Chain A
Amino acid sequence: MYAYRRYQPGSQPSHNHPPYVSSQTRYPKQPLIQIPHTLSEVTGPQFTLDDLRHSSADLTKRGVGEPLGERIIVSGQVLDQDGHPVPRTLVEIWQANAAGRYMHKIDQHNAPLDPNFPGFGHTLTDEQGRYRFVTIKPGAYPWRNHHNAWRPQHIHFSLFGPAFATRIVTQMYFPGDPLLPFDPIYNCTADEEARKRLISSFDWETTIPDQALGFHFNIILRGRDATPMEDK
């Protein structure tokens, strides 16, 4: 059994990020207690296609008709820090519709819902760690964090990886979005290069003629440490 590498300093958000107002009564103020990785951290839940039978990787086929908006293909690879593919791992996504509205009862943004776009999708990566979703480009939307606050267009990603230690939830953004410099959530990670890796790239390879633009987004999970746990 191998432990997982610790996150590199600055490569993850700090818990306290004052510009994101709702973090202020929720982030931990006490220092986290570092613990060694045990069997409990290096194992983790695994999922099968049977778990996903009520969802799909095509978010445009959830209604009786076609959803409104710009059809896109979002695909990429889930890798560990050593470049090894992470096969058969669950990827969950959710997002706003093309008008910038989530199909959620607390989203009261004055933009139309789309009955043909519930806005969620699930898949497992293949043997090479690849995933592919068909969806609609989400709209930007206002939120109440500060005056004239708007979230850039984004898709939420949730991944488990092979272990409890590799669990991550993140957001994917789109290239050239003018809202990115103003978004406290995108900017919560200190390291600029780490932030930029959340921005997908336009992808001719996966773009389908007459059908959909492609965007590419790779996700890197923590890699294993070089030394086995028992030697520590």
Chain B
Amino acid sequence: MPTPPATTSQTVGPYFAIGMNLLNVSELAGPGERFTLEGRVLDANRKPIPDALLEIWQANSAGKYPEPGDSFRGFGRIPTNENGAFRFTSIKPGPVPGPNGATQAPHLEVSVFMRGLLIRLTTRVYFPGEPLNATDPILNLVPASRLGTLIAQKKDSHLLHWDVLMQGDDETVFFDI
């Protein structure tokens, strides 16, 4: 019997806050190095997108992905505000295993939803000044000219900046996973 295709995706539309806000999480706590990630989601004309939602999935500071029952949940969900801005505070994840014995640099997995997107987009946030970035097996698949869209900028010791840019010369890299 042929394998049925997975259910097709549809936009979250403009009113997703009704159903999705219950699980909003903009701050995760746990042992490790704290950081705050701030940024904006901007459209092709660099206008703020006030009806976007970011979801984060990350390992703990030891590089272990959370399992049910763990105190560190590893999940964040942050809607953008009227200025298209978001803010997420957490603990820097440790390096995690990659394909063929490689090591992945510390990173956040990010899902992007918004009115106008027909299907979820996925991207990653990497940490600035991280030596493992140079050998990260996923970053190595990205053209050098676009790498900057995946690496947050350091604002001060614990504050990072990272924008999600739809279209334009500096469009954020999204992955086909």
Contact = CB atoms under 8 A, between A and B. Distances in A.
Contact of B177 (A35, A47, A55, A219): A35
B19 A93 contact: yes
A68 interface: no
Given A26-B116, A167-B120, A220 B100 contact: no
A222 B20 contact: no
Interface residues of B, number: 69
Given A45-B75, A94-B16, A156-B12, A35 B6 contact: no
Interface residues of A, number: 81
Contact of B44 (A25, A40, A158, A189): A25
B7 A168 contact: yes
Contacts of B66: 45
Contacts of B6: 5, 7-8, 11-12, 81, 168, 220-223
A118 B5 CA distance: 33
Interface stretch (B31-39, B153-161, B165-173): B165-173
B9 interface: yes
A interface: dominant SS: loop
Contact of B166 (A27, A48, A54): A27
Contacts of B173: 30, 33
B131 interface: no
Contact of B18 (A104, A167, A223): A104
B8 interface: yes
Interface in B39-58: 43-45, 47, 49, 55, 57
Nearest to B19: A94
Nearest to A193: B5
Contact of B16 (A26, A37, A156, A191): A156
B116 A23 contact: yes
Contacts of A5: 3, 6
B14 A106 contact: yes
B167 A15 contact: no
A41 B104 CA distance: 12
Contacts of A55: 22
